[in-house]
């Protein structure tokens, strides 16, 4: 019973549509009707502005972290579920949120939040890699996919050194999610029509 409840909680945490709620509450705007139509941080930056984008991205990251740390709650401490599984469930909730008609984000920020909750040094490495890639490419989607590859390589090395196979599997799953959710972006990148940021 505890395992079932904690999985549901992880999904519901991931399902919180930060971009949708902040857009409607503070800007009277449904970001699904503007820009890329995506509920993630990138579209929030594009449609609602820098301040809202930072808040939405931060909240999306914290969703993954919160789900991964659910085992710290006394009631859930008896659960036998690995914290990384809870993180994956939260990411699924972010991509297919019950609170937003199952139309969610692209898994990047929430995936980062899972890693923040599990291994903060790993998270820092990925943040640095993201901004280096973004500085070089000016394309958020491409930078996100580059970071997914960096994360996969890092987790493979970490597995070899520490034996943490679970982390490698989690990162592989999250990388798959990220590439799958960026299918349209990959097409636009190939066509040279993917939007670029100007602030970095």
- Is residue 144, in this structure, part of any structural domain at all? yes
Q: Is residue 196 part of a domain?
A: no
The reply to whether 165 falls in a domain is yes
- Examine residue 92 and state whether it is found in any structural domain, yes or no: yes
The confidence band for 37, taking pLDDT boundaries of 50, 70 and 90, is confident
Q: How many domains does the chain have?
A: 1
Mean pLDDT of 167-179: 94
In a domain, 141, yes or no: yes
Residue 198: pLDDT above 90?
no
Q: Global pTM?
A: 0.91
| 3-class DSSP string for the chain | CHHHHHHHHHHHHHHCCHHHHHHHHHHCCCHHHCCCCCCCHHHHHHHHCHHHHHHHHHHHHHHHHHHHCHHHCHHHCCCCCCHHHHHHHHHHHHHCCHHHCCCCCCCHHHHHHHHHHHCHHHHHHHHHHHHHHHHHHCCHHHHHHHHHHHHHHHHHHHHHHHCCHHHHHHHHHHHHHHHHHCHHHHHHHHHCCCCCCCCC
Which domain does 79 fall in, by range?
2-191
Looking at residue 177, its pLDDT comes to 93
pLDDT value at position 21?
94
Q: How does residue 199 score in pLDDT terms, banded at 50, 70 and 90?
A: confident
Q: Is residue 198 part of a domain?
A: no
pLDDT of residue 39: 84
Confidence grade of residue 122 (pLDDT, cut at 50, 70, 90): very high
* Whole-number pLDDT of residue 138: 93
């Amino acid at each position: 019973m505890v395992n079932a409840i904690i999985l549901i909680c992880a999904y519901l945490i991931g399902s919180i549509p930060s971009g949708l709620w902040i857009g409607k509450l503070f800007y009277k705007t449904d970001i699904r009707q503007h820009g890329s139509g995506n509920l993630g941080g990138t579209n929030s930056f594009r449609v609602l502005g820098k301040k809202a984008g930072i808040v939405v991205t931060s909240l999306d990251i914290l969703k993954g972290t919160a789900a991964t740390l659910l085992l710290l709650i006394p009631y859930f401490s008896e659960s036998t579920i690995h914290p990384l599984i809870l993180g994956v469930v939260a990411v699924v909730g972010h991509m297919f949120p019950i609170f937003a008609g199952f139309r969610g984000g692209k898994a990047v920020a929430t995936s980062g939040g899972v890693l923040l909750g599990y291994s903060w040094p790993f998270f820092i490495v990925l943040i640095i890699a993201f901004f280096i890639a973004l500085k070089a490419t000016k394309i958020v989607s491409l930078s996100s996919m580059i970071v997914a590859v960096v994360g996969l390589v890092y987790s493979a090395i970490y597995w070899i050194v520490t034996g943490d196979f679970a982390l490698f599997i989690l990162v592989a799953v999250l990388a798959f999610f990220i590439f799958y959710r960026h299918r349209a972006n990959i097409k636009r990148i190939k066509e040279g029509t993917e939007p670029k940021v100007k602030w970095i």
